[in-house]
Structure 1
C-alpha cells in the first residue's frame, strides 16, 4: 500500500472516530444556544416580555461569550481539549436547563450572560482541535461535516421544539412547554460533557486507536503543513503579534458580517414563519426545518468542492452573496409565503455555508502557536453579531411591527462581508 493510501486510511479512521461524536456535541451546543428562539413563541406572553427585551436577552449571551472567548481558548491550549471541553459542556448544559426558572427580564439576562461565558471556548476550541489532527488540505470537508450540526440542529430542533411546546403546553409536571424545552435540551449536554472526558484524546500521540505507523504518518503531514503555513504567514507566533496583524482583524469583520445573517435566521426564523399565518407550533417547527435541510446538503457539497479545487475565497464569497439575495427575497415578498420560504432557504443555505467554510481561511495561515489566540479573537469579533443582530431585529420589530427593514440591513452587512473576502490574498488561503 502506498504512503498516500495509508495516510488517507488513517484520516478516514480519525474522521470516523472524532467527527460523529464532536458533531453531536456541537448539535447540542447549537440547540442550547438557539432554543430560546422557539421558547419565545410562548415565553414572551407567559412572562409579559417585549420583543426588545427578548432581543436583548438573546443577545446578551454573546457579551459573556465575547469577553470569555480568548481566555477560554488559551486555557484549552494549556490544559488540553478533553478536560476543558468537558468542563464547559457540563457548565453550559446546566445553565441552559436552569433557564426554565426565569421569571423576570433580569433573571433572563443573567442566565443568558453566564451561559455565554460557559460556551465561549467550545467552537474556537474545536477549530483549534482539528488543526491538531488534519492538515489544511483536509479541513474544508472536515469543517463542513462538523458544522453541518448547525443546520441539522435546526432540522431536528425545529420539529422537536415544536412538539415539546405542543405536548407539554398543558403544564405537565407543573412546568410550561417552554420550561420543558430548556430542561430537555439542556440535560443531554451535561451527559455529553461527561462523555467527552472519557472519549476524546488531546492529540495524535494519545490516540490508542491509531497504529504507530498511522500516528507517524499523520504527524509528519501536520509538520509539513505547519512549515507551509509558516512560509506564507504574515502573523508572528505571539498573541501580541496576532493583535497587530491586519488580516486577522479583517477576518474578524468578515466573520461578524456572516454571523449577523446567521443569528437573525437562528433567533427569528420561527417568528417570521409564524407571521406568515402559521399559528400551530408543530407546523412552525416542521416548516423551519426546510431551510436547514437545504443548508445541510449544500454545506457538505461546498466543503468537498473547496478541498477538491484548493480554492477558499470564492467558496466563502459566493454563499454570502446567495444569503444576501435570499434575505432580499424574504423582505420584498413578505406577503407571499412560498417566496418567503424560498428566500429564507437561500439565506440559510448561503449564510451557514459561508460560516462553515470561513474557518478554512484563518486556519490556512495561522501557525500553531498563533492559532489558539488568533482563532479565538476572530471568533469573538464575529460573535459580537450575536448581540447586535437579535437586538436590532427585535427593536425594529417593535418599532415597525415588521422584520422587513431588518432584513434589508442584514443583507447590506452580508454584502460588505462578501466584498472584504476578496481582499484576503489568495496565496495565504488557497491550499
Structure 2
C-alpha cells in the first residue's frame, strides 16, 4: 500500500457512511470532509501517523458526534470505537427546506419536458432531434446539481464550454442524412454530457476518488429509481388509456404528443432528486440487486460464450450480434461499478467478491472473442466508422476489466486493499468520456461525415 492510501480509504469510508444520513446533504458532507482533512493535516504535522491523525480528527468533529457514535457502534471491532463515544444528543441536519427543493425540482422537470416538446416541434428532422435530445435535457439536470452543490462560476464555465462545443459540433457538422458518423455522434454525445453532469454532481472536485465513487453510486441508484418511475408511470398510463377507451376517448394522440415528451425527460430530474433525498433507503436495495444479478450475469456470459463457440469462423459472426454483445459488456461493467460502489471498502473479502471475479473473467473471455471477430471482419471487409468505434470500445473494456480482475484477485489473496480497486474504477471512467468525445468530434472529420 502506497503512502496515505490507508488514510484515503478511511476518509472515503467515513464519507460513505455520513452520506447515508438523510439529514445531511452532499454539500454539507463536502464541507465537513474539508474540515476533517484540515484537522488531519494539522495532526500529522504535529507528529501523528495517518491512522492516529484520522482517529483524533474524528473525535474532534463536534458537529458529527452523533453520527460518529453510530459509526463506532456499527464497527465495534475497530480500535477507535472508544474515541468517538460521546454523550451529546443527535443534532438536526441543515440544508434547504424540503418544499423549496421540491419546487426547484418540479420546475426543472417541467422545463426539461417543455424543452424536449419544443425540440419535437422545431426540429422536424428526426435525426436532428436524435442528435440534440440529450443537449435539451442536460442543462436542467446540471442546473439541479449546480443549485444543490452551490457551484462556483468557475465550475459553471468549465461545464458550459464543452457543452457549447458539443452543441456546435452536433449541429454544424454536415452529416450525411442517416450516415454512420451521425448515428455514432448521437449515441456517444450523452456519454460526454453525463460525465459533464458528474462534474456538476461532485461540485467541480473531480480529482477526489471519493466524490467520483459517489457519482458512480448515484448513477446506479438513478437507474433503479428511473426504472421504478417508468414502470409505475407505464402502469398508470395503461390503466388510464384502458378506461378512456371504454368510454370512447382515444388517449393515444395525447400520449404521443404530450405525456411521453414531457414525462420521460422530466422523470430523469425527479429521479435524481429522489436519489439525493432517499440515499439511505436505496443503499439497502443496492447490495440486494448486485447479489441477485451477479450470478445471473455469470450464467448469461457463459451461455454467450457457448453460443459464440458454435458459430464457426469469426468472420461469420453477425454484425447485430456484435453490437448486442457490446451492450452486454457495458451492462456487465455497470453492474461491477454498482456493486463496488455499494460495498463497504473496509469489509474483508468474501464469497461475493469471488463471484464478481468469476463474472469479470467470463466478461473478459467474451470480450476477447468479440475482439477477434471484429478484427477478422475488419481484415475481410475493411474499416468503417462503426467497426472502429466498436473496436475502440472493446479495447477500453478489455483494459478496464483486465486490471480490475488483477486488483480483485490481489484483494482476495490479501495482498491489496479494496480501495485500490475502487480507485481504479473511478480514475478510468474519464477515459470513456474522452473516447466518446473523439467519436463525436473526430470521427466525422476522418470518415468524411458519412
The normalised TM-score by structure 1 is 0.31
Computing the radius of gyration from Cα coordinates, the structure with the larger value is 2
Q: Report which structure shows greater RCO (CA 8 Å, sep ≥6).
A: 1
